[in-house]
Amino acid sequence: MVERKQYLQELKQWKDDDVIKVVTGLRRCGKSTLLAQFQNWLLENGIENEQIISINFEELEYEDLLDYKKLYAYIKERLAEGKMTYIFLDEIQKVSDFEKVVDSLNVKPYVDIYITGSNAYMLSGDLATLLTGRYVEIKMLPLSFAEFMEVTNLRKEDAFEEYLRCGGLPYVATMNRTGEKVDTYLEGIYNTVIVRDIEDRQARLEQDKKLRKITDISLLKSIAKYLASTIGSPVSAKSITDYLISSGRKVSNTTVGDYADALTEAFIFYSAQRYDVVGKQLLKSNGKYYIVDLGLRNHILPRRKYDLGFSIENIVYLELLRRGYRVFIGKVGTTEVDFVAEQQGVYTYFQVTADMAAEETFNREIAPLKNIKDNYEKIILTLDRVTLGNYEGIEVINLLDWLLNVNQSIMY
């Protein structure tokens, strides 16, 4: 098993606190493995087997427990009397009305609850209402480049080439990565997320009597393909709709918006809003989408030459999320800064470019940062090593060096 040190440390720090630990993220990004690793750590540190109740709702032997009343009875009769019981409920969104179980258990003494889910919709509606202020969300992503390099034991440059091609899902990092094997594995995950996880979302929509329905899988995949092809470019519901209409699909902006929401709720895509650096306010239009894994992007858009600049921009966006930042697209007058990263009220501005060696590129990338008049840190990340240095307070840093500096600005 690939040890996810950062996420494991987060679970350790929240151990025994009176909040429910909710681990969310894309299917097969390592949530189940994380719970197993944490359980092993508990056993190694004095916790007894009878103090641990672990249920994975994707396993057939727990099918009867998909009924929330049976699940509650099963857990209640196994609580360790007078000792802390650690309860792990994996892919809990499969249980109808699971909020009632979690809420009832949470008010009992000596109970520490950990749940996972592959759809952000699980944290909306009744669960959020019941558990306001009583849960913490640990947002899990595929392997960082540093983790991928550690697992594969490749040289830095070779590892980065593989990371761009195959992505960072844990099993991909450990397999014999032939193009055919990687694509077959990613196809299975993609289709499962698109069909099964969206179906789980549909069940909750029906349960909550909401009207938004995702019924056209072909349309969903078309929107996913469009978003994958526009990584790093401004996107709106209207631009997606116009593209689909030009391709012969009749669809409304509202429907497109609902389908795009479904893709972000299933953690395939992440949306980044625009932020006016001068006016210090979020803007409603022309945000961007980034994909959770470049391997999945290569599967969705096969046999195509990608823009290296947008690919590394995608990597930086996800790395900033891993390091605990809130990430926005910066607007500075008529120019744009790739990322405005905020953490505890402190901002850092990032530009990302494959190569700064050409004078025109250098001037283009550095100009927006020079237009920002505050004293927060300003960084340009590049793959070249020719232009590294400090330019009037603007640091130009090699991207691979930055990615491997895993302790920088990580929040626990």
Range of the domain at 72: 5-139
Q: Which helix H or strand E contains 98, and what residues bound it?
A: helix 98-106
Q: Whole-number mean pLDDT of the chain?
A: 91
Three-state SS across 343-407?
ECCEEEEEEEECCCCCHHHHHHHHHHHHCCCCCCEEEEEECCCCCCEEECCEEEEEHHHHHHCCC
What percentage of the chain reaches a pLDDT higher than 70?
91
For residues 155 and 160, give the distance between their C-alpha atoms in angstroms, rounded to a whole number.
9
Is 78 contained in some domain? yes
Could you report the per-residue pLDDT of 74-107, keeping only the tens digit for each? 999 999 999 999 999 999 988 988 888 998 999 9
Our CA angle for 39, 45, 51, nearest 5°, is 55
Tell me the CATH number at 16: 3.40.50.300
Backbone phi, psi, residue 141, to 5°? -120, 165
The distance from CA 354 to its chain's CA centroid, rounded to whole angstroms, is 24
Confidence at residue 304, expressed as pLDDT on a 0 to 100 scale: 61
Q: Left, alpha or beta for 31 (phi > 0: left; psi -120 to 50: alpha)?
A: alpha
94 occurs within a structural domain: yes
The helix or strand, by DSSP H or E, that contains position 146, with its residue range, turns out to be helix 145-152
Structure tokens at 150: 């550690």
Share of the chain above pLDDT 90, in %: 80
Q: Which of 137-146, 200-209, 253-262 has the highest mean pLDDT?
A: 137-146
* Higher-scoring residue by pLDDT: 209, 11: 11
Report phi then psi at 315, rounded to 5: -65, -45
Whether residue 175 is contained in a domain is answered as no
Which pLDDT belongs to residue 412? 29
How many angstroms separate the Cα of 310 from the Cα of each of 1, 306, 336?
Answer: 31, 8, 15
Contact 126, 99 (CB under 8 A): yes
Inform me whether the pLDDT recorded for 32 exceeds 80.
yes
Predicted local distance difference test score (pLDDT) of residue 405: 86
| Residue 152: closest CA among 297, 5, 160, 317 | 160
Closest alpha carbon to 88 in 126, 41, 129, 131:
41
Spatial CA neighbour of 53 closest among 110, 122, 120, 136: 110
Q: How far apart are CA 198 and CA 260, in angstroms?
A: 12
- Asked if residue 36 has pLDDT above 60, the reply is yes
- Tell me the C-alpha distance between 381 and 312, whole Å: 9
Number of structural domains in the chain: 1
Query: 229 — phi, psi (to 5°)?
Result: -85, -10
Start-end of H helices in 230-358: 237-246, 253-265, 294-300, 308-322
Q: How many residues can be counted in the chain? A: 412
Q: What is the pLDDT of residues 131-180, one digit of tens each?
A: 767 889 999 999 999 999 999 999 999 999 999 999 999 999 999 999 89
Q: Does 102 map to a domain?
A: yes
At 322, is the pLDDT very low, low, confident or very high (cuts 50, 70, 90)? Answer: very high
State the greatest distance between any 2 C-alpha atoms of the chain, in Å, as a whole number. 70
The DSSP line for 124-144 is STHHHHHTTTSEEEEE--S--
* 326 in a structural domain: no
In this structure, what token pair is assigned to residue 19?
């909040």
Residue 278 lies inside a defined structural domain of this protein = no
Helices (DSSP H) in 153-249: which residue ranges? Answer: 156-166, 170-174, 179-192, 198-207, 217-229, 237-246
